[in-house]
Amino acid sequence: MTSKVLPPSVLELAEALIACPSVTPAAGLVFDCLEGQLKPLGFAVHRFHAGVAPDGPVENLFAIRQGPEGSRHFGFAGHVDVVPPGENWASAPFAPEVRSSPLGDLLYGRGAVDMKGSIAAMVAAAAAVPQDAGALSFIITGDEEGPATFGTQELIKHMRAVKAVPDLILVGEPTSVNRLGDMMKIGRRGSTNVWLEVEGKEGHVAYPHLADNPITKLIHMLAELKAMPLDDGTDWFQASNLEITELTVGNPATNVIPARAQARISIRFNDQHSGKELGARVRAIAEKHGGTARQVVYGEAFLTPPGPFSELIADAVEGELGFRPEASTTGGTSDARFLKDLCPVIEFGLCNATMHKRDEAVAVADLDALARIYARVAKAALTG
């Protein structure tokens, strides 16, 4: 009699992914690993590279397991790239290690939380969802932690081209704060940076009438920008904020008025604004003070209003953990800022306490629970 081969556990799936070094932009081995996990579950896997230097090329993966004709389509989204591990880990960052603690077993390794652990839970959840329930897909990029120019945005083009746009998408970012399931993200603020520059006329400090000090103009410009009214927040978003993040003159001489001064500002904004509108306001103030402004918008604010999708996730969490998550829009940006153009999208995943830190770790019990929650969410989403 032959014994039945059991599918890999969530822990085994996560360990296999962590063991593939994948500092952003990720390519090759980690995608081989994920493809090997998905194909036995009946997924058709399409991998492709997109873009050119300096932001590319980037490897992406779209995998789909079709359901019955006319059935609903639910998408799991995420990334397999990770930030550089840094130094002084207790164990090698890409050699996954389980250690016991007073709170239970913990899996250590770069990406355990952000977000190979969540992707492993998605794969395990997919194994628990019958194929006749509907279409399931994985939308996975290798460049979420980097410029994100040729990652999820290229995946969106591909999904549209092959007419495989999901009805709902769950992004597995680590959204939980104090315990698994306490928070989901139903939106995010937008993000933009603006580089400011003022040209002056260099000269000796003892003869200011023969020079034109750009620092003085830049200081006045920044003061007006900091005083620029934005908003007081909304029911779902905190107030927008503008921060000065860099100030550069590069003047080694103590007796010279410099010829140029530069600064950079960052604005995190809610859905009362657009990146374009804010850029125009900043540019007008910069030009008023004799300067220029160069803007890059990294993502617009978005909100998936509380409703059926958020309730579906809350029901799944309550069914497994006995409480309902808080709906929030706090935190930084994610690839949900792009995916929201396809369909409703919500982020939900592991506890974020150790993400991007040395000795990143996830509770093994949380991996198992998250897989069960994801399976509940997918099944409910596919039944409509």
Residue 64: beta bridge partners?
44, 137
3-state secondary structure the chain: CCCCCCCCCHHHHHHHHHCCCCECCCCCHHHHHHHHHHHHHCCEEEEEEECCCCCCCEEEEEEEECCCCCCCEEEEEEECCECCCCCCCCCCCCCCEEECCCCCCEEECCCCCCCHHHHHHHHHHHHHCCHHHCEEEEEEECCCCCCCCCCHHHHHHHHHHCCCCCCEEEECCCCECCCCCCEEECEECEEEEEEEEEECECEECCCHHHCECHHHHHHHHHHHHHHCCCCCCCCCCCCCEEEEEEEECCCCCCCEECCEEEEEEEEEECCCCCHHHHHHHHHHHHHHCCEEEEEEEEECCEECCCCHHHHHHHHHHHHHHCCCCEEECCCCCCCHHHHCCCCCEEECCCECCCCCCCCCEEEHHHHHHHHHHHHHHHHHHHHC
Answer yes or no: 144 catalytic.
Answer: yes
Q: Is 368 noted as a catalytic residue in this protein?
A: no
Which residue, 76, 110, 80, is CA-closest to 95? Answer: 110
Q: Which residues pair with 327 in a beta bridge?
A: 184
Catalytic annotation, pick one of 15, 59, 143, 144: 144
Query: For the chain, how many residues are written?
Result: 384
* Catalytic option among 59, 81, 143, 347: 81
Please give the positions annotated as active site.
81, 144
